[in-house]
Structure 1
Amino acid sequence: MTIRVPAVAGRFYQASPFELSKLLSQWLITPDKTTALPRALIVPHAGYIFSGKVAARAYRWLKRTGHLYQKVILIGPSHYYAFEGCALPSVQYFATPLGHVQIDVTSVEKLSHFDDIVISDHIHELEHCLEVQLPFLQSCLPEFTLLPILTGDISPIRLAEILDTLWQNNTLLVISSDLSHYHPYADAQDIDHRTLKVIEKFDPSLTPQQACGATGINTLLLLAKQRGYDLKQVEYKNSGDMAAGDKERVVGYVSYLVSAPGEASPE
């Protein structure tokens, strides 16, 4: 059994299983009224002290529907390595303090034959943007396999082509992305609100300066528009809104819920 060990437990989120579970149980309170069946989420990936609550506001919509998903496709930007295409791991499991997540090795094998797919545990080894999503998923879904994709230099159109047949009804698509980085508070709010208008028009033209996970978001917008899905903003904040935040150099965070019109989640 080959395992990717946690890279940022104890830094981005709690390393103690008890403390992590306790925190997530407090955050993941089921919404009073669940009206939509989530097909995809956009969630931030900073340390939980900064962006955890914004992510949790989207994840909690899965509390009643988690049993419907057998697979999760998780996409985020590579922060440490530049490369062409996308990177998938060769390991069989990703570990967190809450246990092991089984990799969808069948899909990895299928995609490994594409020219724009790189198989590299090295690229995944230090990356935080996917890892910080796993405890949320483990807390909301009883059982699932994971297809973790780090994006390098690849067009959203090409990535949408790769994902189109993989994103089935039993598959949740999760896009990991923060928004603008290191602007003063008021400037960041202005930049981010203009970015949110682009997202909500299903305009797949975001740049990395607007959102570090622009490739993943643009890909989702292409697929969601093609399928006629709805997009609902759940919450926007930036790091300056948090008690520990510096208002001179802030990072923006947003969460979105993507669903199919008229498709209600079970009571």
Structure 2
Amino acid sequence: MLQVRAPVVAGMFYPGEGSALKGDIAAMLAAAKPTELIPKAIIAPHAGYIYSGPIAASAYAALAPLRERIRRVVLLGPVHRVWTAGLALPGVDAFDTPLGRVELDREAIRSLADLPQVETNPAAHAMEHSLEVQLPFLQAVLADFKLVPLAVGGASPRQVAEVLERLWGGPETLIVVSSDLSHYQPYALARQADAGTAEAILHLRSDLVGEMACGCHPINGLLVAAGHKGLKAHLLDLRNSGDTAGDRARVVGYGAFAFTEEPVS
């Protein structure tokens, strides 16, 4: 029997009805600033769409030219509810969203079997929103893809990078890291903190901590892998909940980044 992870934050973080969800995503993508970058990897935030959706759309809009090319998405996000010491696979065959079903890439998952930092831990995924909220955007911008979803706990940058490099593939593979930035600071302080975090990411500094980004562990691993693979980081959008739908007394920061493969000179 096919094992499927059902959505748990549909109707809360994003619309639970398919047509409304599709319409909201289309509007956010249409409002995103155009870019000519062709990403190999992106970082996008994972809060409720009313807060972080426009910033996430800035990253996903860059994937439009890759709609037919990308066939596998390696999706990493931090755990918020159930801890894992390394990186956790969900132990299911597919993820459902209001926009339909996304099958997992079984062959790619089997290729990780010998890595000690990777475990199968359904509990780490069962109530986790950081990966789920990315899926409707991916379904909207890509034609047909399979998924490798990894919930990241305490994995080191080297451990995450080893997994990413194992799954790197070619132009058919996209890497997505889900992360918000600073949490619950006053607006002006958050802007200053997030600007510093963005600068660290742009310079591929793999020493981010949780106060800078809740997804610091998967981001740090991506930054190590990006350095190994010669990628260049680009800032697409940097805002916070005070810019979108919240008050400015205690805001959450959001950034959208693209990583491109630089031509060999």
Q: TM-score range by the shorter chain?
A: over 0.9
For residues 148-197 of structure 1, what are the alpha-carbon distances to aligned partners after superposition, in whole Å with 9 as ceiling and x for unaligned? 00111110111111221311121100010000101111111111111111
For residues 114-149 of structure 1, what are the alpha-carbon distances to aligned partners after superposition, in whole Å with 9 as ceiling and x for unaligned? 322221222101000000000000011100110000
| Number of corresponding residues | 262
- Percent of matched pairs sharing the same residue: 41
Q: Give, as a single letter, the amino acid of the residue that structure 2 aligns with 1:70.
A: R
Q: Give, as a single letter, the amino acid of the residue that structure 1 aligns with 2:184.
A: Y
CA distance in 1, matches of 2:31, 2:168: 25
1:30–1:61 CA contact under 8 A, matched in 2 = no
Structure 1 residue 112 displacement after superposition: 3.5
- State the partner residue of 1:27: 28
CA distance in 2, matches of 1:256, 1:90: 29
CA distance in 1, matches of 2:32, 2:57: 11
TM-score, normalised with respect to structure 1: 0.94
Structure 1 residue 260 displacement after superposition: 1.4
Distance 1:50 1:149, change over 3 A: same
- State the partner residue of 1:247: 248
Structure 1 residue 30 displacement after superposition: 9.0
- State the partner residue of 2:83: 82
TM-score, normalised with respect to structure 2: 0.94
Equivalent in 224, 227, 231 of residue 226 of structure 2: 224
CA distance in 2, matches of 1:68, 1:31: 21
CA distance in 2, matches of 1:187, 1:36: 30
Gapped regions of structure 1 (runs ≥ 5):
none
**Secondary structure in 2 matching 1:259:** strand
RMSD over aligned CA atoms reads 1.6
- State the partner residue of 1:67: 68
For residues 181-238 of structure 1, what are the alpha-carbon distances to aligned partners after superposition, in whole Å with 9 as ceiling and x for unaligned? 0111111111111111111111101001100001111111111122221211000001
- State the partner residue of 1:256: 257
CA distance in 2, matches of 1:150, 1:26: 29
CA distance in 2, matches of 1:97, 1:220: 29
